[in-house]
Amino acid sequence: MSRTSGRGPGHVDVRRARKHPGAPPRARDDRSGCARRRPLRPLSAVLARALRTLGLDSDVARADAVREWRAVASGVIGADAARTTALRMDGGTLIVAVPTAQWAAEIRLREHELVSQLATRAPRSGIAKIRSVPASHA
């Protein structure tokens, strides 16, 4: 076994060779000494698993419907839907604050379409219906 200081094909780790004279030379890129490492997982997968473990994944899924409200309502009702505010999910019901009784009636009339689009954009939210509450009580 030759102990060279070059970095070519015949390179031997001299420090390792001194400590373990009979051991075969180790490749330069094997710094850990481990034969295998676990592959890295995407951060999103790690977070999803942590949320599931803590029992928070369903809360995050329900929050998706709250976040999507403004975009969906603007698409279905129009730009004036910005006057409404999604407050929270209560089970499968999205609670929305509205400024007037007319807005509550408009949401009731278009509830089926709003729920359908919210379910498409936030499928894990479990949204089934929408309840309007006066903004003054929100």
Give the pLDDT of residue 126.
87
Q: Which amino acid is at 37?
A: R
Q: Which of 67, 86, 138, 78 is nearest to 106 (CA)?
A: 78
7 within domain boundaries: no
Enter the tokens of residue 25.
Answer: 């030379």
Q: Domains in the chain: how many in total?
A: 1
Q: What is the CATH number of the domain that holds 86?
A: 3.30.300.180
Mean pLDDT of the 79-101 span? 94
Q: Where are the alpha helices (DSSP H) in 11-81?
A: 14-19, 43-54, 57-76
Q: Tell me which residue range forms the domain holding 103.
A: 57-137
* Residue 100 resides in a domain: yes
Angstrom distance (rounded) from CA 50 to CA 72: 29
Question: How does residue 81 score in pLDDT terms, banded at 50, 70 and 90?
Answer: very high
In a domain, 18, yes or no: no
Residue 50 lies in a domain: no
Q: Identify whether 23 is part of a domain.
A: no
pLDDT at 15: 64
- 49 found inside a domain: no
Taking the C-alpha atoms of residue 56 and residue 89, their distance in angstroms, rounded to an integer, is 14
Check whether 2 has a pLDDT greater than 70: no
pLDDT of residue 69: 95
**pLDDT of 91:** 87
pTM to 2 decimal places: 0.59
Extract the tokens encoding 94: 């999205």
Question: Is residue 44 domain-resident?
Answer: no
Residue whose structure tokens are 């009979």: 22
Q: What is the pLDDT of residues 93-125, one digit of tens each?
A: 999 999 999 999 999 999 999 999 999 998 888
Q: 95 lies in a domain?
A: yes
pLDDT of residue 117: 95
Are 62 and 125 in contact by the 8 Å Cβ rule? The answer is yes
Q: Using one digit for the tens of pLDDT, what is the confidence trace for 27-70? A: 555 555 556 778 888 887 787 777 667 665 666 667 788 999 99
β-pairing, 129-134 vs 85-90, is: unpaired
